[in-house]
Structure 1
Amino acid sequence: MGEERLRIGELAAAAGVSTRTVDFYTSRGLLSPAGRSGGNFRLYDQSCVGRIAAIRQMEAQGIRLDEIAHALTSAVSGEHAKCVDLAVGPCPADPLALEQYLSSLDAQVHTLRETAGGVDDAHRGAVGVLVARAQVLIATALALSTELLPAVHLIS
């Protein structure tokens, strides 16, 4: 037997958001109903609870909803050519670009380590705040990649 499907109110309650949020995410292409009930209610897969958690975490880190939608749907649609970030590099959502971005991140962390020792006391706090922000973003990426996103089915 298949997994139990949730009506919009049940999904909202399970994810800790309002039904308006579920409607909004659905309208932006972040969520997709799995079907309709006999009473014509939208039904969502259980995996949408985790997907909403992932979306909320990315939003909390300042990632725009259009970027989140692109990242979560382009793997299926292959629409990397329409990526808004192509001017600064390959589409971040393109799985082939991931290794390039990770290599660049490694190089930047190495350079930051080398230069951080030479930062004067007046600017050390500012550098520390920026490094702490980067660390939070990396921790969020790790959490999402290992805990939430693998269990989430991409919209097809």
Structure 2
Amino acid sequence: MPDLMRIGELAAAAGVSNRTVDFYTNLGLIHPAGRTSGGFRLYDPATVELIGTIRQLEASGLGLEDVARQFAGASATDLSDIIARLGHDVEALRALAETAGSAANGVAATLAIRAHHLITLASELLTVMPHG
């Protein structure tokens, strides 16, 4: 297991404290990949990227407990249905934008930028989360 990282190495690489790594582990957001012979947790280096994504989710207003529940599969949300609804909503927004005034378009653009950020974050999450 030479490529696995101890908690301090993971924390330093992810730019967080050891305490944050412990907190995320206890919430079930991240999982050790193994342990040393002395019982110390070891993490896969890909966990660095996952911690960055978790921090972005939190900064986007999602509660860590909610994120942990979703990571644990506590929701039966069908992503393909949500994506289809988003497509319809984007088309409706496009049609409304053609007739709305500039002030409304400005506010709508600000909200659309926020939505775009969240969709980008969802895409990143799908690439860094373990598959299976």
**Short-chain TM bin:** 0.7 to 0.9
Q: Percent identity?
A: 44
Consecutive unaligned residues in structure 1, runs of 5 or more = 81-90
CA RMSD of aligned residues (A): 2.0
Match of 2:81 in 1: 100
Distance 1:122 1:54, change over 3 A: closer
Aligned residues: 132
Match of 1:56 in 2: 55
CA displacement at 1:38 relative to structure 2: 2.5
Question: TM-score when scaled to structure 2?
Answer: 0.85
Question: Structure 1 residue 142 and structure 2 residue 123: aligned?
Answer: yes
Question: TM-score when scaled to structure 1?
Answer: 0.74
Deviations 1:3-37, CA, capped at 9 Å, x for gaps: 62211101101211111110110111112223332
Consecutive unaligned residues in structure 2, runs of 5 or more = none
Alignment partners' CA distance in 2, 1:56 and 1:122? 33
Deviates more, 1:6-15 or 1:32-41: 32-41
Distance 1:153 1:6, change over 3 A: farther
Structure 1 stretches of at least 4 aligned residues deviating more than 3 Å after TM superposition: none
The amino acid of 1:9's aligned partner reads: G
Alignment partners' CA distance in 1, 2:94 and 2:79? 22
